[in-house]
Structure 1
Amino acid sequence: MARTREFDIDRAVDRAMDLFWRRGYAETSLQDLLKAMAIGSGSFYAAFGSKEALYLRCLDRYTTLQGGSLEKVFEETAELRPALRSLLTSLLEADLADPARGCLVVNASTQCGDMPTAAERVNTAVRQVESFLAGALERAQTRGELPPEKDPRELARFLTTFIQGIRVAGRARMGRQFTEDALHVALRVLD
Protein backbone atom coordinates (compact mmCIF):
# COMPACT_ATOMS: atom_id res chain seq x y z
CA MET A 1 0.00 0.00 0.00
CA ALA A 2 1.42 3.39 -1.02
CA ARG A 3 2.07 5.95 1.68
CA THR A 4 0.32 9.28 1.47
CA ARG A 5 2.45 12.39 1.13
CA GLU A 6 2.95 13.94 4.54
CA PHE A 7 4.12 17.38 3.51
CA ASP A 8 2.77 20.39 1.64
CA ILE A 9 4.42 20.15 -1.76
CA ASP A 10 3.82 23.82 -2.66
CA ARG A 11 5.39 24.98 0.58
CA ALA A 12 8.34 22.65 -0.02
CA VAL A 13 8.83 24.04 -3.54
CA ASP A 14 8.68 27.61 -2.19
CA ARG A 15 11.32 26.81 0.40
CA ALA A 16 13.55 25.18 -2.20
CA MET A 17 13.02 28.11 -4.55
CA ASP A 18 14.17 30.52 -1.85
CA LEU A 19 17.28 28.44 -1.21
CA PHE A 20 18.17 28.17 -4.91
CA TRP A 21 17.46 31.88 -5.28
CA ARG A 22 19.87 32.84 -2.51
CA ARG A 23 22.64 30.28 -3.08
CA GLY A 24 22.35 29.23 -6.70
CA TYR A 25 21.95 25.76 -8.12
CA ALA A 26 25.53 24.52 -7.73
CA GLU A 27 25.94 25.84 -4.20
CA THR A 28 22.74 24.21 -2.95
CA SER A 29 23.27 20.65 -1.82
CA LEU A 30 20.66 17.95 -1.47
CA GLN A 31 21.18 18.09 2.30
CA ASP A 32 20.51 21.84 2.25
CA LEU A 33 17.30 21.21 0.35
CA LEU A 34 16.10 18.42 2.63
CA LYS A 35 16.69 20.60 5.68
CA ALA A 36 14.99 23.69 4.20
CA MET A 37 12.05 21.65 2.93
CA ALA A 38 11.80 19.65 6.17
CA ILE A 39 11.49 16.32 4.34
CA GLY A 40 13.47 13.10 4.08
CA SER A 41 15.35 11.87 1.05
CA GLY A 42 12.73 9.21 0.25
CA SER A 43 9.98 11.82 0.16
CA PHE A 44 12.20 14.11 -1.88
CA TYR A 45 12.91 11.54 -4.58
CA ALA A 46 9.28 10.35 -4.64
CA ALA A 47 7.97 13.89 -5.09
CA PHE A 48 10.63 15.49 -7.28
CA GLY A 49 12.91 12.80 -8.71
CA SER A 50 16.12 14.83 -8.64
CA LYS A 51 17.68 18.11 -7.62
CA GLU A 52 17.58 19.30 -11.25
CA ALA A 53 13.90 18.41 -11.61
CA LEU A 54 13.14 20.37 -8.43
CA TYR A 55 15.16 23.32 -9.71
CA LEU A 56 13.19 23.34 -12.96
CA ARG A 57 9.98 23.24 -10.98
CA CYS A 58 11.19 26.20 -8.92
CA LEU A 59 11.96 28.14 -12.10
CA ASP A 60 8.45 27.38 -13.37
CA ARG A 61 6.92 28.54 -10.09
CA TYR A 62 8.97 31.74 -10.08
CA THR A 63 7.94 32.47 -13.68
CA THR A 64 4.28 31.99 -12.79
CA LEU A 65 4.53 34.25 -9.74
CA GLN A 66 6.42 36.96 -11.64
CA GLY A 67 3.94 36.80 -14.52
CA GLY A 68 1.11 37.38 -12.06
CA SER A 69 2.94 40.35 -10.56
CA LEU A 70 3.52 41.82 -14.00
CA GLU A 71 -0.14 41.49 -14.92
CA LYS A 72 -1.20 43.05 -11.62
CA VAL A 73 0.92 46.18 -12.18
CA PHE A 74 -0.64 46.78 -15.60
CA GLU A 75 -4.16 46.03 -14.36
CA GLU A 76 -3.86 48.49 -11.47
CA THR A 77 -2.49 51.33 -13.61
CA ALA A 78 -4.31 51.83 -16.90
CA GLU A 79 -1.80 54.18 -18.55
CA LEU A 80 1.39 52.71 -20.00
CA ARG A 81 4.06 55.08 -18.64
CA PRO A 82 2.93 55.04 -14.99
CA ALA A 83 2.49 51.26 -15.13
CA LEU A 84 5.92 50.73 -16.65
CA ARG A 85 7.52 53.16 -14.18
CA SER A 86 5.80 51.33 -11.32
CA LEU A 87 7.06 47.97 -12.56
CA LEU A 88 10.64 49.13 -13.05
CA THR A 89 10.68 51.02 -9.75
CA SER A 90 9.41 47.95 -7.89
CA LEU A 91 12.25 45.87 -9.37
CA LEU A 92 14.77 48.57 -8.47
CA GLU A 93 13.46 48.73 -4.89
CA ALA A 94 13.48 44.95 -4.51
CA ASP A 95 17.11 44.80 -5.62
CA LEU A 96 18.13 47.66 -3.33
CA ALA A 97 16.40 45.96 -0.39
CA ASP A 98 18.01 42.57 -1.03
CA PRO A 99 20.76 42.77 -3.66
CA ALA A 100 22.12 39.31 -2.89
CA ARG A 101 18.86 37.74 -4.02
CA GLY A 102 18.41 39.39 -7.40
CA CYS A 103 16.16 37.70 -9.93
CA LEU A 104 15.97 33.90 -10.04
CA VAL A 105 15.73 33.88 -13.85
CA VAL A 106 18.76 36.15 -14.23
CA ASN A 107 20.63 34.05 -11.67
CA ALA A 108 19.74 30.89 -13.57
CA SER A 109 20.85 32.39 -16.86
CA THR A 110 24.31 33.10 -15.47
CA GLN A 111 24.68 29.97 -13.36
CA CYS A 112 23.20 27.15 -15.43
CA GLY A 113 24.68 27.50 -18.90
CA ASP A 114 25.53 23.80 -18.93
CA MET A 115 21.94 22.79 -18.13
CA PRO A 116 19.99 22.92 -21.42
CA THR A 117 16.63 22.40 -19.75
CA ALA A 118 17.23 25.27 -17.32
CA ALA A 119 18.31 27.45 -20.26
CA GLU A 120 15.02 26.59 -21.97
CA ARG A 121 13.11 27.64 -18.84
CA VAL A 122 15.01 30.94 -18.75
CA ASN A 123 14.22 31.50 -22.43
CA THR A 124 10.55 30.78 -21.78
CA ALA A 125 10.46 33.18 -18.82
CA VAL A 126 12.12 35.98 -20.78
CA ARG A 127 9.83 35.43 -23.77
CA GLN A 128 6.82 35.54 -21.43
CA VAL A 129 7.87 39.00 -20.19
CA GLU A 130 8.50 40.14 -23.77
CA SER A 131 5.10 38.90 -24.90
CA PHE A 132 3.28 40.53 -22.02
CA LEU A 133 5.06 43.86 -22.57
CA ALA A 134 4.39 43.71 -26.32
CA GLY A 135 0.69 43.27 -25.60
CA ALA A 136 0.67 46.19 -23.17
CA LEU A 137 2.54 48.36 -25.67
CA GLU A 138 0.14 47.43 -28.49
CA ARG A 139 -2.86 48.33 -26.32
CA ALA A 140 -1.18 51.62 -25.37
CA GLN A 141 -0.52 52.38 -29.03
CA THR A 142 -4.19 51.75 -29.82
CA ARG A 143 -5.12 54.24 -27.06
CA GLY A 144 -2.73 56.81 -28.54
CA GLU A 145 -0.19 56.63 -25.70
CA LEU A 146 2.58 55.42 -27.99
CA PRO A 147 3.53 57.06 -31.30
CA PRO A 148 2.31 55.07 -34.33
CA GLU A 149 5.84 54.75 -35.76
CA LYS A 150 7.02 52.81 -32.68
CA ASP A 151 7.17 49.03 -33.04
CA PRO A 152 5.67 47.47 -29.88
CA ARG A 153 7.54 44.17 -30.36
CA GLU A 154 10.92 45.93 -30.71
CA LEU A 155 10.19 48.09 -27.67
CA ALA A 156 9.14 45.01 -25.73
CA ARG A 157 12.43 43.30 -26.57
CA PHE A 158 14.39 46.37 -25.51
CA LEU A 159 12.45 46.69 -22.24
CA THR A 160 12.81 42.97 -21.53
CA THR A 161 16.56 43.25 -22.04
CA PHE A 162 16.61 46.38 -19.91
CA ILE A 163 14.77 44.59 -17.09
CA GLN A 164 17.30 41.76 -17.12
CA GLY A 165 20.14 44.29 -17.14
CA ILE A 166 18.71 46.34 -14.30
CA ARG A 167 18.42 43.15 -12.24
CA VAL A 168 22.12 42.43 -12.88
CA ALA A 169 22.97 46.02 -11.90
CA GLY A 170 21.00 45.54 -8.69
CA ARG A 171 22.81 42.32 -7.90
CA ALA A 172 26.13 44.08 -8.57
CA ARG A 173 25.07 46.76 -6.08
CA MET A 174 25.41 49.60 -8.57
CA GLY A 175 23.23 51.75 -6.33
CA ARG A 176 20.09 53.81 -6.53
CA GLN A 177 21.45 56.69 -8.62
CA PHE A 178 22.86 54.38 -11.29
CA THR A 179 19.63 52.41 -11.69
CA GLU A 180 17.33 55.45 -11.47
CA ASP A 181 19.36 57.21 -14.19
CA ALA A 182 19.10 54.11 -16.38
CA LEU A 183 15.36 53.86 -15.71
CA HIS A 184 14.85 57.49 -16.70
CA VAL A 185 16.60 56.95 -20.05
CA ALA A 186 14.78 53.66 -20.69
CA LEU A 187 11.39 55.30 -20.33
CA ARG A 188 12.31 57.86 -23.00
CA VAL A 189 12.17 55.13 -25.65
CA LEU A 190 8.39 55.47 -25.41
CA ASP A 191 8.47 59.09 -26.66
Structure 2
Amino acid sequence: MARTREFDVDQATDRAMDLFWRRGYAETSLQDLLRELSIGSGSFYAAFGSKEQLYVRCLERYTSLQGSDLEQTLDGTTGIRPAIRKVLTSMIEADLAEPTRGCLVVSASTHCGEQPSAADRVTAAVRQVESFLAGALERAQVRGELSPDKDPRELARFLTTFIQGIRIVGQARTGREFAEDALSVAMRALD
Protein backbone atom coordinates (compact mmCIF):
# COMPACT_ATOMS: atom_id res chain seq x y z
CA MET A 1 0.00 0.00 0.00
CA ALA A 2 1.33 3.44 -0.97
CA ARG A 3 2.15 5.89 1.79
CA THR A 4 0.11 9.06 2.07
CA ARG A 5 2.04 12.18 1.15
CA GLU A 6 2.81 14.08 4.36
CA PHE A 7 3.42 17.51 2.86
CA ASP A 8 1.55 20.02 0.75
CA VAL A 9 3.03 19.97 -2.77
CA ASP A 10 1.95 23.55 -3.54
CA GLN A 11 3.51 24.90 -0.36
CA ALA A 12 6.65 22.90 -1.05
CA THR A 13 6.75 24.31 -4.59
CA ASP A 14 6.49 27.85 -3.20
CA ARG A 15 9.33 27.19 -0.77
CA ALA A 16 11.46 25.67 -3.51
CA MET A 17 10.68 28.63 -5.77
CA ASP A 18 11.88 31.00 -3.08
CA LEU A 19 15.09 28.99 -2.67
CA PHE A 20 15.75 28.89 -6.43
CA TRP A 21 15.00 32.61 -6.58
CA ARG A 22 17.49 33.43 -3.83
CA ARG A 23 20.27 31.07 -4.87
CA GLY A 24 19.73 30.27 -8.53
CA TYR A 25 19.27 26.90 -10.16
CA ALA A 26 22.94 25.86 -10.34
CA GLU A 27 23.70 26.94 -6.77
CA THR A 28 20.73 25.04 -5.34
CA SER A 29 21.61 21.42 -4.69
CA LEU A 30 19.25 18.52 -4.14
CA GLN A 31 20.39 18.50 -0.50
CA ASP A 32 19.45 22.19 -0.20
CA LEU A 33 15.98 21.40 -1.55
CA LEU A 34 15.49 18.42 0.76
CA ARG A 35 16.52 20.54 3.74
CA GLU A 36 14.32 23.50 2.70
CA LEU A 37 11.29 21.28 2.05
CA SER A 38 11.92 19.05 5.09
CA ILE A 39 11.39 15.89 3.07
CA GLY A 40 13.40 12.81 2.15
CA SER A 41 14.72 12.01 -1.29
CA GLY A 42 12.07 9.34 -1.91
CA SER A 43 9.27 11.82 -1.22
CA PHE A 44 11.03 14.41 -3.36
CA TYR A 45 11.35 12.12 -6.38
CA ALA A 46 7.79 10.84 -5.97
CA ALA A 47 6.36 14.38 -5.86
CA PHE A 48 8.62 16.25 -8.27
CA GLY A 49 10.60 13.77 -10.35
CA SER A 50 13.86 15.70 -10.46
CA LYS A 51 15.45 19.00 -9.56
CA GLU A 52 14.90 20.25 -13.12
CA GLN A 53 11.24 19.20 -13.10
CA LEU A 54 10.73 21.02 -9.81
CA TYR A 55 12.47 24.09 -11.21
CA VAL A 56 10.17 24.09 -14.24
CA ARG A 57 7.19 23.68 -11.92
CA CYS A 58 8.43 26.70 -9.93
CA LEU A 59 8.81 28.72 -13.14
CA GLU A 60 5.28 27.73 -14.17
CA ARG A 61 3.91 28.83 -10.81
CA TYR A 62 5.83 32.11 -10.92
CA THR A 63 4.73 32.92 -14.48
CA SER A 64 1.15 32.00 -13.67
CA LEU A 65 1.08 34.41 -10.73
CA GLN A 66 2.91 37.17 -12.61
CA GLY A 67 0.82 36.64 -15.73
CA SER A 68 -2.40 36.84 -13.76
CA ASP A 69 -1.29 40.13 -12.18
CA LEU A 70 -0.26 41.53 -15.56
CA GLU A 71 -3.49 40.50 -17.25
CA GLN A 72 -5.57 41.94 -14.42
CA THR A 73 -3.73 45.27 -14.51
CA LEU A 74 -4.02 45.55 -18.29
CA ASP A 75 -7.72 44.64 -18.25
CA GLY A 76 -8.56 46.51 -15.06
CA THR A 77 -8.28 50.01 -16.42
CA THR A 78 -9.77 51.88 -19.33
CA GLY A 79 -6.55 53.68 -20.24
CA ILE A 80 -3.63 51.82 -21.79
CA ARG A 81 -1.00 54.37 -20.78
CA PRO A 82 -1.87 54.34 -17.07
CA ALA A 83 -2.02 50.54 -17.14
CA ILE A 84 1.37 50.12 -18.78
CA ARG A 85 2.91 52.80 -16.56
CA LYS A 86 1.52 50.94 -13.52
CA VAL A 87 2.99 47.64 -14.70
CA LEU A 88 6.42 49.11 -15.39
CA THR A 89 6.47 51.24 -12.23
CA SER A 90 5.58 48.25 -10.06
CA MET A 91 8.56 46.34 -11.48
CA ILE A 92 10.87 49.27 -10.92
CA GLU A 93 9.64 49.66 -7.34
CA ALA A 94 10.06 45.95 -6.65
CA ASP A 95 13.65 46.06 -7.89
CA LEU A 96 14.43 49.21 -5.92
CA ALA A 97 13.03 47.63 -2.76
CA GLU A 98 14.79 44.30 -3.24
CA PRO A 99 17.44 44.54 -6.00
CA THR A 100 19.02 41.17 -5.35
CA ARG A 101 15.73 39.34 -5.88
CA GLY A 102 14.98 40.46 -9.42
CA CYS A 103 12.77 38.42 -11.72
CA LEU A 104 12.83 34.63 -11.64
CA VAL A 105 12.24 34.43 -15.41
CA VAL A 106 15.15 36.78 -16.14
CA SER A 107 17.35 34.73 -13.82
CA ALA A 108 16.24 31.52 -15.51
CA SER A 109 16.84 32.96 -18.98
CA THR A 110 20.43 33.82 -18.14
CA HIS A 111 21.31 30.65 -16.21
CA CYS A 112 19.35 27.73 -17.60
CA GLY A 113 20.54 27.25 -21.13
CA GLU A 114 21.49 23.69 -20.27
CA GLN A 115 17.96 22.71 -19.21
CA PRO A 116 15.73 22.61 -22.31
CA SER A 117 12.48 22.38 -20.36
CA ALA A 118 13.39 25.45 -18.28
CA ALA A 119 14.39 27.32 -21.44
CA ASP A 120 11.05 26.37 -23.01
CA ARG A 121 9.22 27.69 -19.94
CA VAL A 122 11.12 30.99 -20.16
CA THR A 123 10.22 31.31 -23.85
CA ALA A 124 6.57 30.62 -23.02
CA ALA A 125 6.66 33.26 -20.26
CA VAL A 126 8.09 35.90 -22.59
CA ARG A 127 5.48 35.04 -25.24
CA GLN A 128 2.74 35.26 -22.61
CA VAL A 129 3.80 38.79 -21.63
CA GLU A 130 3.92 39.74 -25.31
CA SER A 131 0.45 38.30 -25.86
CA PHE A 132 -1.11 40.13 -22.89
CA LEU A 133 0.47 43.41 -23.96
CA ALA A 134 -0.51 42.96 -27.62
CA GLY A 135 -4.10 42.21 -26.66
CA ALA A 136 -4.30 45.27 -24.42
CA LEU A 137 -2.71 47.48 -27.09
CA GLU A 138 -5.10 46.16 -29.75
CA ARG A 139 -8.09 46.94 -27.52
CA ALA A 140 -6.65 50.40 -26.85
CA GLN A 141 -6.28 50.99 -30.56
CA VAL A 142 -9.94 50.07 -31.13
CA ARG A 143 -10.89 52.56 -28.38
CA GLY A 144 -8.85 55.24 -30.11
CA GLU A 145 -6.14 55.45 -27.41
CA LEU A 146 -3.40 54.29 -29.74
CA SER A 147 -2.68 55.76 -33.15
CA PRO A 148 -3.82 53.59 -36.09
CA ASP A 149 -0.29 53.78 -37.52
CA LYS A 150 1.11 51.91 -34.49
CA ASP A 151 1.51 48.14 -34.70
CA PRO A 152 0.29 46.65 -31.39
CA ARG A 153 2.37 43.47 -31.84
CA GLU A 154 5.58 45.43 -32.47
CA LEU A 155 4.90 47.67 -29.47
CA ALA A 156 4.19 44.59 -27.35
CA ARG A 157 7.52 43.08 -28.38
CA PHE A 158 9.35 46.30 -27.59
CA LEU A 159 7.66 46.55 -24.17
CA THR A 160 8.35 42.88 -23.43
CA THR A 161 12.02 43.45 -24.21
CA PHE A 162 11.99 46.63 -22.13
CA ILE A 163 10.48 44.74 -19.17
CA GLN A 164 13.26 42.15 -19.28
CA GLY A 165 15.88 44.88 -19.57
CA ILE A 166 14.48 47.00 -16.76
CA ARG A 167 14.52 43.92 -14.50
CA ILE A 168 18.20 43.33 -15.32
CA VAL A 169 19.28 46.92 -14.71
CA GLY A 170 17.23 46.87 -11.50
CA GLN A 171 19.46 44.07 -10.26
CA ALA A 172 22.46 46.12 -11.33
CA ARG A 173 21.25 48.76 -8.86
CA THR A 174 21.30 51.60 -11.35
CA GLY A 175 18.87 53.55 -9.18
CA ARG A 176 15.57 55.35 -9.45
CA GLU A 177 16.67 58.16 -11.79
CA PHE A 178 18.05 55.69 -14.34
CA ALA A 179 14.90 53.57 -14.27
CA GLU A 180 12.51 56.53 -14.41
CA ASP A 181 14.38 58.07 -17.35
CA ALA A 182 14.13 54.77 -19.21
CA LEU A 183 10.44 54.49 -18.29
CA SER A 184 9.77 57.96 -19.75
CA VAL A 185 11.32 56.96 -23.07
CA ALA A 186 9.41 53.66 -23.14
CA MET A 187 6.13 55.46 -22.52
CA ARG A 188 6.80 57.79 -25.46
CA ALA A 189 6.73 54.73 -27.73
CA LEU A 190 2.96 54.75 -27.20
CA ASP A 191 2.58 58.32 -28.54
The TM tier, using the shorter chain, reads: over 0.9
State whether residues 74 and 133 of structure 2, in contact with CA within 8 Å, keep that contact through their aligned partners in structure 1. no
Unaligned runs of 5+ in 1: none
Kindly provide the amino acid, as one letter, of the partner of residue 75 in structure 2.
E
Match of 2:143 in 1: 143
| Matches for 1:67-106 after TM superposition, within 5 Å | 67-106=67-106
Query: How many Å apart are 1:179 and its aligned residue?
Result: 0.6
Query: How many Å apart are 1:76 and its aligned residue?
Result: 2.8
CA distance in 2, matches of 1:35, 1:64: 26
1:167 aligns to 2:159 (yes or no): no
Query: How many Å apart are 1:119 and its aligned residue?
Result: 1.0
Match of 1:33 in 2: 33
Unaligned runs of 5+ in 2: none
Query: How many Å apart are 1:74 and its aligned residue?
Result: 1.8
CA distance in 2, matches of 1:161, 1:144: 25
Matched residue pairs, number? 191
Match of 1:158 in 2: 158
Query: How many Å apart are 1:77 and its aligned residue?
Result: 2.0
- 1:80-119 CA-to-partner distances (Å, cap 9, x unmatched) read 0000000000000011111111000000000111222211
TM-score (norm 2): 0.98
| Matches for 1:117-136 after TM superposition, within 5 Å | 117-136=117-136
Query: How many Å apart are 1:42 and its aligned residue?
Result: 1.3
State whether residues 20 and 28 of structure 2, in contact with CA within 8 Å, keep that contact through their aligned partners in structure 1. yes
Query: How many Å apart are 1:75 and its aligned residue?
Result: 3.0
TM-score (norm 1): 0.98
Match of 2:107 in 1: 107
Query: How many Å apart are 1:51 and its aligned residue?
Result: 0.4
CA distance in 2, matches of 1:58, 1:86: 25
